[in-house]
Chain A
Amino acid sequence: KAGVTQTPRYLIKTRGQQVTLSCSPISGHRSVSWYQQTPGQGLQFLFEYFSETQRNKGNFPGRFSGRQFSNSRSEMNVSTLELGDSALYLCASSLSPGEVGELFFGEGSRLTVL
């Protein structure tokens, strides 16, 4: 069974641009969560989607948005990029939101903002 797939793995953008990251969950998993990982802040929760609906949202500005498609694939978008958005963005999937702690992570998309 294929794991969680994130694309692209690496990308470089400049301030003011926008970026879209993609996440394909494990087959059969319907819940997708996104986390931002930085050396200073660690892992911070961005949002969670289930059945194309956002269930939870972390404390991030409105520049960060996401969506989920009917096939459970998810995308997150960051607009008007800032230097501080440089981070590893991790996607995790689970069968459903009730699957306590059973998150399966992708390898992440490493974003560098210049």
Chain B
Amino acid sequence: AQTVTQSQPEMSVQEAETVTLSCTYDTSENNYYLFWYKQPPSRQMILVIRQEAYKQQNATENRFSVNFQKAAKSFSLKISDSQLGDTAMYFCAFEGQAGTALIFGKGTTLSVSS
């Protein structure tokens, strides 16, 4: 069975700094998808970034980028130039065969302060 592990329950960073959130996963599949979702306090979860396992190039979305290491089964999220609005819980998620349910890590609570 696939598992997703986020080893950092909480992290703090100052505005404008860069922070990296860690995620590792376990799967025997070769084709799969990885995601980072953001859940702000009392607001709905939104997709931040996605990565297809067959793509070697790391995905980037504005200030958000990933470091995807397929052999190491590692998928970290880097947030550059952190903003107060980045304060949220971040979930790493795995999807195997298309159409199967997302498997989430337990989340990392990120606090950005001024």
**Could you tell me which A residues sit within 8 Å of B by CB distance?**
3-4, 33, 35, 41-45, 48, 55-56, 58, 90, 92, 97-98, 100-103, 105-108
- Choose among A48, A90, A106 the residue that contacts B101 (Cβ–Cβ < 8 A): A48
Interface string of B82-104 (1 = CB under 8 A from A): 00000000010101001111111
Kindly state whether residue B33 has any CB partner on chain A within 8 Å: yes
**Could you tell me which B residues sit within 8 Å of A by CB distance?**
33, 35, 42-47, 50, 91, 93, 95, 98-107
Q: Cα distance A55–B100 when bound, in Å?
A: 9
Among residues of B, the one whose C-beta sits closest to the C-beta of A105 is B45
What 9 A-B pairs come out closest when comparing CB atoms?
A42-B106, A43-B104, A97-B99, A105-B45, A45-B101, A105-B44, A107-B44, A101-B35, A101-B50
**A45-B105 contact in complex given A101-B33, A101-B50, A102-B47, C-beta closer than 8 Å:** no
Once the chains bind, are B44 and A103 in contact (CB under 8 Å)?
A: no
- Return chain B residues, CB-CB under 8 Å to A101: 33, 35, 47, 50, 93, 95, 102
Q: Which of A3, A43, A58, A105 has the most CB of B within 10 A?
A: A43
Once the chains bind, are A98 and B100 in contact (CB under 8 Å)?
A: no
Among residues of B, the one whose C-beta sits closest to the C-beta of A40 is B106
